[in-house]
Amino acid sequence: MKFIIPIIALNLILAASSYSQVDTLEAIEISTIQVSDPVTQLYVQDLDGDSLKELILCTRSHVFVYHPGDSQPLWVSPELVRPGDLQFIDINGDSLVDIGIRDSANISLYNPHDSTLIYSMAVPNLFKCYTIGDANDDADIDIVIARQEPYESGRREDSVWVKIYNGPNFDDTSTFVVTMANWAGETWVLEEWPDKIMIVTIGDSSNFEQRIILISRISDRAWGVGGGFDKTYGRFWIINPVSFQIIGNYLLGKGDYYGMIESPAGRQIYSLTSYFESNFNYPARWYIQKHLMCRFGPGGMLDSTRISFDHYRCPENNSIIPSWTSTIGDLFNSSGPEICFFYMGSLNEYSIQNRTFLWEIPEPVDSMAVVGSYSSSLFPSAEILIREISPTPQYLFLNGITHQVNAAMPIVITAFTNIVDLNNDGNDEILSISSNTLHIYNLEWATAIAEKTILPNEYLAVSNYPNPFNGQTIIKYNLPKQSDIALEIYDILGRRVEAMEIPNQSAGLGQITWDASWEPSGVYFYRLQVGSEQKTGRMVLLK
Ligand SMILES: [Ca+2]
Ligand SMILES: [Ca+2]
Ligand SMILES: [Ca+2]
Ligand SMILES: [Ca+2]
């Protein structure tokens, strides 16, 4: 059920968004990776199953794989031409994830763990997109490509070829054609061709089936008496990869978002898509933008819901387009994903699984954009991270359930490339790319950072900073009286990795630097024993 928070809530949010009333977060840079050329794409994926996610960086000539914390790459690809569209899957069945890379000439499957090239094939003419996975469910990984039929001027129908190259030898065994019929009376100008193809397993325990999902984008420009209009649409195809039957062919939006819904009832794929139309006939150009949330099972579309609709006429000015910025994440810490979006003056939270609006509030600040969702032990539940542009340029953290502003952060990080928990400790890291450098940050309360240098003197207090840390961390303590102290450090499996004793330590502040540069990344615990009292703490080494 959709509801509107009364205006009084807006006033509370406005009051809470000022610096003086909310705590401030600080970004602590814990690691950087620098490569030779500007980074064009970043992927984050655990390739070796140790729950630390590897960082995979593409430049215009190479792919670099870094284990988090390592200064040297785990693997660097041979020289390629504009590598991209990476796919991650275990191709050779050794439980280590391999990488499919498309560049201007080939699709190549590499094992980055031993630097071998598993397979390479030249890309055919008019090749557009590919995916790898077991399309026909015979336990061998296949390559599936889509390419367009050569364009012929004046033709009223356009087609996409889908080909399956069967593993393990990648024989070209199956081709089928997806035809895009024209709409009556319109001249299609296909400016963009299929740009997403994926293999999904959807359904429930009684009926899990493999499907190929193909999302094609279409830009259409039609001219008539007095002018014409632009449209951007997409088609969402569901194909049975064994029988090659086209199960569904839906005229939808561009496929802005799609993903899996995992629930006790089974697996569905969702797509959040937008249509866009504009008419340039008249001095006052108008726009229509529609957003649809659709869910699909193995038999086709299960349902679709329009989640917003706007018809906007611009006075003499072609530049204003309704803005839409959003993020998808499990903001309610529930089993299903939510989407939080800012649209036409209000911030909305919508449950994809339940197809309901959870809340809507008027724009809580003058001008803002949704950056992402952020989870950390700093907050009781996932936060929505928004960037306020005016009146105060800053980041704001809103509770996904209560939509209360919980924290502010100055704009030190200018680009959020990714928000992801790299070391699986429940705290998201923030990844930011500027040119050829990847910066990795953790967030911490600014007040907590300040307090660590002015500890109260009446009781034993211990903390370490920075945490997470790369290489060294400082364990700070404050002794109420002169004492013998003993420090022990354990890894996550309870193995003692460090022990030291300091007799007759005087009262007041003291610190011990732990140099963990020879230890693997992961979670560690310290235990500081002072007489009969002991304090423990959790530390994360993220190299
Ligand atoms: Ca890993
Ligand atoms: Ca493998
Ligand atoms: Ca197969
Ligand atoms: Ca983390």
Confidence of residue 18 (pLDDT cuts 50, 70, 90): very low
Token couple for 294: 């659709």
Rounded distance from Cα 270 to ligand 4 centre (Å): 28
Report the alpha-carbon distance of residue 120 to residue 168 in Å, rounded.
Answer: 12
pLDDT in tens, 141-200: 999 998 877 656 655 556 778 889 999 999 887 877 777 654 433 444 444 445 689 999
Q: Ligand 1 centre and the CA of 72: distance in Å?
A: 15
Residue 446 CA to ligand 4 centre (angstroms): 18
Nearest ligand to residue 97 Cα: 2
Closest to 506 in 3D by CA, of 533, 527, 477, 466: 477
| pTM given for the model | 0.75
The backbone torsions φ and ψ at residue 12, rounded to the nearest 5 degrees and listed phi first, read -65, -40
Tell the burial category of 2 from Cβ atoms under 10 Å away from its Cβ (0-12, 13-18, 19+): exposed
What spacing in Å lies between the alpha carbon of 523 and ligand 4's midpoint? 10
159 residue type, one letter: S
Spacing, Cα 5 to ligand 3 middle (Å): 52
| Ligand index nearest the alpha carbon of residue 100 | 2
Rounded to the nearest 10°, the torsion over CA 108, 111, 114, 115 is 20
How far, in Å, is the centroid of ligand 3 from the Cα of 33? 37
For the ranges 37-41, 172-176, 447-451, 520-524, the one whose mean pLDDT is highest:
37-41
CA 96–ligand 1 middle distance (angstroms): 10
Ligand closest to 374 (CA) is 4
The closest ligand to the CA of 112 turns out to be 2
In 3D space, the residue among 447, 476, 470, 449 whose CA is nearest the CA of residue 535 turns out to be: 476
Ligand nearest to the CA of 88: 2
The answer, yes or no, to whether residue 106 has pLDDT greater than 70, is: yes
Instruction: Please provide residue 213's backbone torsions phi and psi, each rounded to the nearest 5 degrees.
Output: -110, 130
Distance 527 CA to ligand 4 centre (A): 22
The answer to whether the beta carbons of residues 425 and 523 sit under 8 Å apart is: yes
Helix (H) or strand (E) holding 147: strand 142-148
pLDDT tens string 503-512: 888 887 788 8
Give residue 135 CA to ligand 3 midpoint distance, Å.
5
Residues with a beta carbon under 5 angstroms from ion ligand 4? 421, 423, 425, 427
What is the per-residue DSSP string for 438-461?
EEEEEEEEHHHHHHTTS--SSS-E
CA of 207 from ligand 4 middle (Å) equals 37
Could you tell me which residues are beta bridge partners of residue 293? 272, 305
- Tens digit of pLDDT for each residue in 347-370? 888 888 888 888 888 766 667 788
